[in-house]
Amino acid sequence: MVNENVTTLEIENGVGIIALPGSEATIRGFSGAKVVIVDEASRVEDGLMAGIRPMLATTQGRLIALTTPYGKRGWFYEAWEYGGDRWGRIKVTAHDCPRIDPEWLEEERQGMGDWQFRQEYLCELVDTDEQFFASDLIEAAR
């Protein structure tokens, strides 16, 4: 490692890693990224994503979005459901993880609401109990 501080890391081959804040206004000006990794992507506001995407324009770089689903809303939902072949998708549920005990998982299922369990452990994009209208009703009205 050549240089390290709170927001940047430079390794010996000259590759740099920059951690940026989660604010659309403060990420402007960065460009030429070869890879952008967005953690908890389903919770990232659409405006912030609008500021992130131009960072990849000159390099045709990769955008990697890691997340637990967060309802049927926002840019992540749109990309996952309707992004077509431009997006590769990998879904890993709690059942796919050998380190998670099935009995413990069943206790979680019984202790949580249905939509929360499906979202947190089954990686499903589901309506939440916070929504006034179900997503399928909204889609049908379009």
Q: Return the domain boundaries, the chain.
A: 1-90, 93-142
Sheet harboring 3-4: ordered strands across?
3-4, 8-10, 16-18
pLDDT at 28: 85
Task: Determine contact, residues 48/42, Cβ cutoff 8 Å.
Answer: no
Task: Determine contact, residues 76/65, Cβ cutoff 8 Å.
Answer: yes
- What stretches of the chain show up as alpha helix (H) in DSSP? 24-27, 46-52, 74-82, 102-111, 114-122, 135-141
* pLDDT above 70 for 19: yes
pLDDT at 130: 65
* Tens-digit pLDDT profile for residues 71-115: 998 999 999 999 999 999 999 999 999 999 999 999 999 999 888
* Tens-digit pLDDT profile for residues 20-75: 888 888 888 888 899 999 999 999 999 999 999 999 999 999 999 999 999 998 99
CB atoms within 10 A of CB 36: 19
State how far the Cα of 4 lies from the Cα of 140, in Å rounded to an integer: 52
* pLDDT above 90 for 121: yes
Task: Determine contact, residues 11/1, Cβ cutoff 8 Å.
Answer: yes
Tell the residue number behind the tokens 């989660």, with chain if given.
22
Helix axes 102-111, 114-122, angle to 10 degrees: 150
